[in-house]
């Protein structure tokens, strides 16, 4: 009888130990801080009083505007380091549905864009990583494929895709949206994996994003006149 009791206690101890190990592993994965996560420090107020970082207002915007007006193919080169400086100058944190996002960072890795931020969930700070792969189909439509979503080191991609589709559907059911707005198209692609014609208006001209090449540290978009 004593042997059976000791045996049951031993099995119980083993299962309890396994439960603790699993719990500790999950917590460790969730609170893992990727070494690649190095957000730019918050930027001081712009001394010129401009609401937009100079990298956007003085470099990217003029390149986009002049290229559209010339009505010839042109390239847009976006550097990750400068983009992160601009993002750090925005107002953070951002709040949405009980979630607080802060300290964002963007990485350009070969073939993909990596978005990272600290998410405060129920007073716990967790690093969220989203990897996006831009893909063009045979109609030259663009899909911003969400290839991976991680919380800490834990891969939650299937769950994130399901939740994203549900949120997108709920938004559609709330009322009409401007389906021609490029921001709506981008949101539909990210949340519901819907491809779209990447044509957008710059002042009185229309341009199309024809191709995207992502190298380490920079993204190069090839644009052509449209309409």
**pLDDT, tens digit (0-9, with 9 covering 90-100), for 181-192:** 888 899 899 989
What is the CB neighbour count within 10 angstroms for residue 160? 17
Same domain for 138 and 169? yes
Q: What is the pLDDT of residues 111-126, one digit of tens each?
A: 999 999 998 877 789 8
Same domain for 97 and 126? yes
List C-alpha distances in Å: 82 to 141, 195, 197.
Answer: 28, 29, 28
Same domain for 18 and 67? no
Q: How far apart are CA 89 and CA 48, in angstroms?
A: 13
Q: What is the mean pLDDT of residues 26-52?
A: 73
> Please, which pLDDT band fits residue 76 given cuts at 50, 70 and 90?
very high
Same domain for 57 and 18? no
What is the CB neighbour count within 10 angstroms for residue 127? 22
Same domain for 6 and 80? no
- Rg (C-alpha) for the chain, rounded Å, is 23
Same domain for 99 and 151? yes
Domain with 24, as residue range(s), is 1-30
Same domain for 24 and 74? no
Question: Of the segments 32-41, 84-93, 101-110, which one has the largest average pLDDT value?
Answer: 101-110
Same domain for 19 and 56? no
Same domain for 46 and 61? yes
Question: Domain total for the chain?
Answer: 2
Question: What pTM did the predictor assign?
Answer: 0.85
- Residue-level pLDDT at 122: 75
Same domain for 110 and 10? no
């Amino acid at each position: 009888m004593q042997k059976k009791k000791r045996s049951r206690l031993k099995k119980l101890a083993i299962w309890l130990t396994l439960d603790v190990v699993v719990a500790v592993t999950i917590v460790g994965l969730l609170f893992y801080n990727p070494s690649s996560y190095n957000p730019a420090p918050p930027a001081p107020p712009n001394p010129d009083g401009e609401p937009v970082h100079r990298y956007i207002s003085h470099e990217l915007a003029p390149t986009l505007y002049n290229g559209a007006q010339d009505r010839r193919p042109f390239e847009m080169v976006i550097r990750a380091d400068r983009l992160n400086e601009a993002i750090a100058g925005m107002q953070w944190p951002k709040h949405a549905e009980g979630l607080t996002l802060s300290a964002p960072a963007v990485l350009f890795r070969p073939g993909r864009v990596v978005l990272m931020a600290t998410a405060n969930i129920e007073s716990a700070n967790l690093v969220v990583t989203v990897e996006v792969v831009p893909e063009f189909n045979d109609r030259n439509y663009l899909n911003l494929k969400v290839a991976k979503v991680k919380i800490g080191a834990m891969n939650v991609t299937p769950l994130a895709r399901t939740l994203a589709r549900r949120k997108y559907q709920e938004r559609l059911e709330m009322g009409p949206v401007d389906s021609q707005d490029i921001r709506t198209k981008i949101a539909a692609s990210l949340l519901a994996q819907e491809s779209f014609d990447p044509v957008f208006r710059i002042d009185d001209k229309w341009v199309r994003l024809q191709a995207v090449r992502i190298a380490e540290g920079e993204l190069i978009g090839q644009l052509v006149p449209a309409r």
